Structure 1
């Protein structure tokens, strides 16, 4: 009975992680559409407000209450660093560098998560996880190089993407302890709200740009708030509460491969052979990092009793 419950929990966590990476991959397509009409800060604020509205309704319906006091440090740190600073820095950085360079720099994030998790949370670093991350990072580098326009990147843009990666990793590591005492919905709802408050200085830009933006750009901004933020950050927190930060970080290496596929299907951007090879490496590395060493468990069968001689 306990074995089946453990298997069920593992399957649910894996499913939540899959929802997260698919939604986050779709975000790159929507950001490209909305980014033409909205500035980085305004886009981040609009996304966070949309996400906080949806999460607030779910939180009220489920009556989960406030996170316990012990969780607030992680909620505040993840809200400011990941929901707030990361989104603004990434939006801004992607306006300064090409998509390939942004993908290369931001994908340092999972490696930083593994290092910070091992240092601050005591997360184990099994060989399979390290090998899988190495393969996935090589795939991300391949995808980035294949998509790079070559020489069009500014130093400022690279710095912004690097800061985004550091904020992302720090936010994840700060969020993990909070999930020990608060639910995934509580941590996500209030983290998103904190991020929205941190981005309030961009409220004037959001109002001004929303009045001129095409409907498609605004709908993409709302989509970013509802699905890649409200849904995906909640499923992320659910899965993170049931595994290590390093293993969850490695899972996000599936995002570059999915972005390539979605850009192909949605935008008609046919990937080259090198891009496809890099995407395949990303997925292979995730498979390795998520795999578990199977150990043979000998059933403790009772020793055969000697037959009684009568």
Structure 2
């Protein structure tokens, strides 16, 4: 039981690292996106992440993933590392930040639906209630950040495409993580995404020559931390819980973005934004909680752990 509790705590810690770094990515994208086009930014981010991950794999002598994991790695690389990053970067240039947040935050709901359909994930009432509360908070944050009339149909469609790519990538990752390590999954998924973005290599070279150093450093930061590190900690946590529960955890990101924008960019949030952020965090807490069962005085016989047993 102590080993199980330790695994739960490590998974929760990994998930926390992920959401904090993904929240920080929104601040960096604002700087890098002013100098780099969507495809070039995605490619530069993936190349930086791939180099960092490749170096770690060589030091650890990680080796290639087993053949049985390659299907999930390829699908995740195409949908999440490739399609999602380009579509989101492009969509955020055509819609305001609030609208983008609203549309992309249907991703966890799609993950829950796909996870239940394709992976057999359970949909306990607390998970559903927590997701409903968090989504209401995301709507409040999005509405408070929206510039009315600043959206386009194409921009909304691209953000929706990003949400679909995100959900499909997560669901593809889950079964592959039973065969490949978190580091293998992230490294080779990142490389697949980089190959997908190679058509933007010319743009990346020309824009890098003109971009200010701050924008390029932000792009490198995006690759090393919100991509290489955060996607690895995500995969580690996903291997130890359900896709639905991990998707619900990402609803903490809007609340952290509000806090970071306040601290780093001096963007003071209004009452509706603060209330929405609080709802997001409350919903995550509900979705991650479990009903406490009475513990027997004598420990039961050990049984094989299942992914659905973890928080």
Given the alignment, which residue of 86, 93, 104 partners 1:88? 86
Given the alignment, which residue of 238, 241, 252 partners 1:240? 238
2:277 aligned residue: 279
User: Is 1:70 equivalent to 2:78 in the alignment?
Assistant: no
Given the alignment, which residue of 180, 183, 186 partners 2:184? 186
Q: CA RMSD in A?
A: 0.7
SS of 1:164 mapped into structure 2: helix
2:122 aligned residue: 124
SS of 2:294 mapped into structure 1: coil
Q: Within 5 Å, which residues of 2 pair with 1:196-275?
A: 196-275=194-273
Residue-by-residue CA offset, 1:197-235 (whole Å, 9 max, x unaligned) = 000000000000000000000000000000000000000
In 2, the alpha carbon distance for the partners of 1:63 and 1:132 equals 40
In 1, the alpha carbon distance for the partners of 2:217 and 2:163 equals 27
Given the alignment, which residue of 32, 36, 39 partners 2:37? 39
1:304 aligned residue: none
SS of 1:38 mapped into structure 2: coil
In 2, the alpha carbon distance for the partners of 1:296 and 1:80 equals 45
Q: Within 5 Å, which residues of 2 pair with 1:96-111?
A: 96-111=94-109
Runs of 4+ in 1 over 3 A off after TM superposition: none
In 2, the alpha carbon distance for the partners of 1:68 and 1:263 equals 42
CA displacement at 1:297 relative to structure 2: 2.4
Q: What is the count of residue pairs matched by the alignment?
A: 299
CA displacement at 1:64 relative to structure 2: 1.3
SS of 2:291 mapped into structure 1: coil
CA displacement at 1:298 relative to structure 2: 3.2
Residue-by-residue CA offset, 1:48-80 (whole Å, 9 max, x unaligned) = 000000000001111111000110000000001
SS of 2:45 mapped into structure 1: helix
Residue-by-residue CA offset, 1:170-194 (whole Å, 9 max, x unaligned) = 0000011110010000000000000
CA displacement at 1:151 relative to structure 2: 1.4
CA displacement at 1:300 relative to structure 2: 4.3
SS of 1:271 mapped into structure 2: coil
Query: Which ranges of structure 2 fall in alignment gaps of 5 or more residues?
Result: 300-311
In 1, the alpha carbon distance for the partners of 2:60 and 2:126 equals 39
TM superposition score normalised by structure 2: 0.95
Query: Which ranges of structure 1 fall in alignment gaps of 5 or more residues?
Result: 302-310
In 2, the alpha carbon distance for the partners of 1:58 and 1:118 equals 34
